[in-house]
Amino acid sequence: MSDMADLIVRSLGLQSYQATWDAMKAFTAERDDSVADELWCLEHPRIYTQGQAGKPEHIIAPGDIPVVQVDRGGQVTYHGPGQLVVYPLISLSRRKLGVRTLVTEIEQAIVRTLTGLGIESSAKADAPGVYVGAAKIASLGLRIRRGCSFHGLALNVDMDLEPFQRINPCGYAGLSMCQISDFVPKTDIAGIEKQLVSQLITGLKFSAVEYHEGW
């Protein structure tokens, strides 16, 4: 691993889902212990992704929005502009993290970020993600391969929530979705990204971090 950093944070803007997924798989397949962990922060064009446990009946009326079958855990969710997606590409074995611990640290980083904005939120033991009351504000789905994580979290910041009504989000019929802009007007996704990344770095105990705009 580089002497310079144990984590590289990439701010990538709007990126194709398929190209990013392919890049995550390649990064995970090719890395070894000399490769620093990375956080990829980005947005996706409108797309539904169906996880490995996904059931077709949870996709009700996708219309013109593509549906892609992916290799993460969980059921169907929606990605679109105005939603902050963060992919933690982390060697769990090197950081001595269990999967459950990683999930908890990601959820709690989101909760702390929202607390800083004056939004009270919580995680649920039986339904991964973060909720404001009964409404879901962030979704979570990971894949572990060769002891390393990919896929990650999606935090609704300031987006069109209508496409969530065409699915049963995460397999729950009638699940309400919400977003940061419901509670904090004029929300800046770049600012939210910086706050969430800071909380992830703290929770996952990274010490030497490099920041990159783009690949």
Question: Catalytic residue numbers?
Answer: 170
CA angle 43, 45, 47 (to 5 degrees): 110
β-pair partners for 9: 39, 211
Per-position b or e across 169-189, b if 16+ CB within 10 A of its CB: bbbeeebbbbbbbbbbeebeb
Gap between the Cα atoms of 102 and 100, Å rounded: 5
- Measure the CA–CA gap between 132 and 122, rounded to whole angstroms: 7
Task: Measure the CA dihedral 98/103/108/111, to 10°.
Answer: 180
Calculate helix-pair angle for 189-204, 99-116, nearest 10 degrees: 140
Task: Calculate the CA dihedral of residues 88, 92, 96, 101 and round it to 10 degrees.
Answer: 60
**Cα distance between residue 34 and residue 60, in whole Å:** 45
